[in-house]
Amino acid sequence: MRVVVIGSGIVGSSAAYECAKAGAEVVVLEAERIAGGTSAVSFAWTNATTKRPRPYFDLNVAGMRAHLELKRDFGAAPWFTQTGSFDWRTVPESMDDYFENFRQMKEWGYGVEWIDKKLVAEMEPDIDIAAIGDCPVSYYPEEGWVDPVLYSAWLLRAAKERWGAKVRVNARVTEIETEGGRIRAVRTADGERHAADAVVNCTGGWSSQRLGDAQGIPLSSTIGVLAFTPPVALTLRSQLHADDLDIRPDGAGRIMIHKVSVDLTLKKPQPLSPAGEEAKTLLEAAGKVLPSLRAAGVEAIRTTVRPFPEDGYTCAGAMPDVAGHYMAVTHSGVTIGPQLGRVVADEVVRGKIHDEMETFRPQRFFQASATRAAAAHA
Ligand SMILES: Cc1cc2nc3c(=O)[nH]c(=O)nc-3n(C[C@H](O)[C@H](O)[C@H](O)COP(=O)(O)OP(=O)(O)OC[C@H]3O[C@@H](n4cnc5c(N)ncnc54)[C@H](O)[C@@H]3O)c2cc1C
């Protein structure tokens, strides 16, 4: 079976790896560089906390498990760090949700415990414990993070070396060709034609685009902003999450900082200055928790699209427009990616349908628009 995967981010590289492993002849077509889209600008925290409803929580937990299994498959996973997360709140209005989430996660069997602040200070002496206030701290030992660009590099390299997959960069797909309602081939901007029995569309924040005979899905994507400090002499190993703030190590002493409220100030991805207002806000917030960051400044600040299917949930499954067209797009793609890759390979290559994915099918968007059109007509 010939499978073309469009996009080489964490989702596309997972799909390509698993489809090649399942015995398909795989070609990956990437418009720009490997994993250079959203996957290159992601906080990349592997977690299922706060993820609701239950099928979405389960999918994220399956993703976390799949990361561990991949690590075992490769013997080592230079892209994966599993050092746990601390979480707390300082804003009184968010306390009820915080306690309710802890209760819900416990009930669903997720790894979370209350942890004594003295132990937090011993584990992470760089934290100013006073910044936590009176709130109890929760600890999630099984959470971690991924370097998504390295992940894609390793998986695509393995897919090439082990099973002969082909990977083309600077190969923007412009058209999916069909015959009698079935996929026949994929064409790229440079005029190449790749014959295909199935196409897996892993274009993330670009998956609303129409590609020739094949349509996209409706998106409600938002913008993400991350700031990076220069190397700082800290020994921080865990991730820190507090109200509207996420902090984690990013290698070689660099610290990555994120605030949803800064994301919300932007309408589109755009270059930002490390000396600008957004960087200042991010550094100031992180500096309250890790005081040694204050003097460090921000070295880089990056923005990108956060890919959200219109209703916010994962979209995975056969598209209703063209036989052989399969969509795999999601937020939380770093957590879910390796599991999504397995689902794609089972459904596209092995013909084994995952019933637990029923709520995530693309069909839901087309049903909604057909109903809207019928209502407008009436
Ligand atoms: C600030 C921020 C924080 C985040 N935090 C987390 C987190 O903590 N945990 C988590 O799990 N997720 C997180 N996410 C979401 C996660 O990063 C994404 O879900 C994931 O990276 C999406 O991967 P992807 O492979 O679907 O998309 P991408 O990485 O964007 O890959 C899509 C690829 O398709 C290519 N492409 C597009 N059109 C074409 C075409 N016509 N032809 C060929 N190629 C094409 C693009 O060039 C791109 O390389 C975060 C995102 C952001 C922005």
Q: Where are the domains of the chain?
A: 2-43+148-220+309-377, 85-141+222-300
Angle between helices 10-21 and 148-163 (to 10 degrees): 20
48-98 confidence digits (pLDDT tens): 999 999 999 999 999 999 999 999 999 999 999 999 999 999 999 999 999
Sort 180 into a burial class: Cβ within 10 Å, 0-12 / 13-18 / 19+: exposed
Please state the separation of Cα 65 from the chain's center in Å: 15
Q: Considering the entire predicted model, what is its pTM?
A: 0.97
Nearest atom, ligand 1, residue 32 CA: 47
In 182-254, at which residue ranges do the beta strands (DSSP E only) sit?
A: 182-188, 193-195, 198-201, 222-228, 239-242, 246-249
101 Cα to the center of ligand 1, angstroms? 27
What's the mean pLDDT in 184-193? 97
pLDDT at 374 over 60: no
Q: How confident is the model at residue 367 (pLDDT cuts 50, 70, 90)?
A: confident
Residues 185 and 26: their CA atoms lie apart, in Å, by 13
137 Cα to the center of ligand 1, angstroms? 31
Whether the Cβ atoms of residue 226 and residue 43 lie closer than 8 Å to each other = yes
- Amino acid, res. 187: R
Name the residue of 49, 155, 206, 272 to mutate for ligand 1: max ligand atoms within 8 A of Cβ: 206
Q: What is the DSSP letter of 9?
A: S
304-351 confidence digits (pLDDT tens): 999 999 999 999 999 999 999 999 999 999 999 999 999 999 999 999
Residues 279 and 283: their CA atoms lie apart, in Å, by 6
What are 75's two structure tokens? 């013997």
Q: Output the average pLDDT for the chain.
A: 96
Report the CATH number of the 2-43+148-220+309-377 domain.
3.50.50.60
pLDDT at 153: 98
Whether the Cβ atoms of residue 104 and residue 98 lie closer than 8 Å to each other = no
CATH superfamily placement of domain 85-141+222-300: D-Amino Acid Oxidase, subunit A, domain 2 (3.30.9.10)
Nearest atom, ligand 1, residue 258 CA: 1
Q: What is the DSSP letter of 129?
A: G
Stated length of the chain: 378
What are 15's two structure tokens? 């799909």
pLDDT at 359: 96
What's the mean pLDDT in 131-148? 97
Name the residue of 64, 334, 335, 344 to mutate for ligand 1: max ligand atoms within 8 A of Cβ: 334
Residue located nearest, by CA, to atom 27 of ligand 1: 204
Nearest CA to 148 out of 329, 15, 333, 315 is that of 333
Give ligand 1 pocket residues (Cβ under 6 A).
Answer: 6-12, 29-32, 35-39, 41-45, 148, 172-173, 202-206, 224, 226, 258, 304, 306-307, 329-335
Q: Got the DSSP string for 275-343?
A: TSHHHHHHHHHHHHHSGGGTTT--SEEEEEEE--BTTSS-EEEE-SSSBTEEEEE-SSHHHHHHHHHHH
Whether the Cβ atoms of residue 193 and residue 187 lie closer than 8 Å to each other = yes
What's the mean pLDDT in 39-46? 98
pLDDT at 375: 62
45 Cα to the center of ligand 1, angstroms? 13
68 Cα to the center of ligand 1, angstroms? 21
110 Cα to the center of ligand 1, angstroms? 26
327 Cα to the center of ligand 1, angstroms? 14
Nearest atom, ligand 1, residue 225 CA: 1
Cα-Cα-Cα-Cα dihedral sign, residues 313, 319, 325, 326: positive
What's the mean pLDDT in 118-128? 98
Residue located nearest, by CA, to atom 11 of ligand 1: 332
pLDDT at 149 over 70: yes
Name the residue of 6, 17, 27, 43 to mutate for ligand 1: max ligand atoms within 8 A of Cβ: 43
Per cent of the chain over pLDDT 70 is 97
pLDDT at 121 over 90: yes
Q: Got the DSSP string for 191-206?
A: S-EEE-SEEEE--GGG
What's the mean pLDDT in 90-113? 97
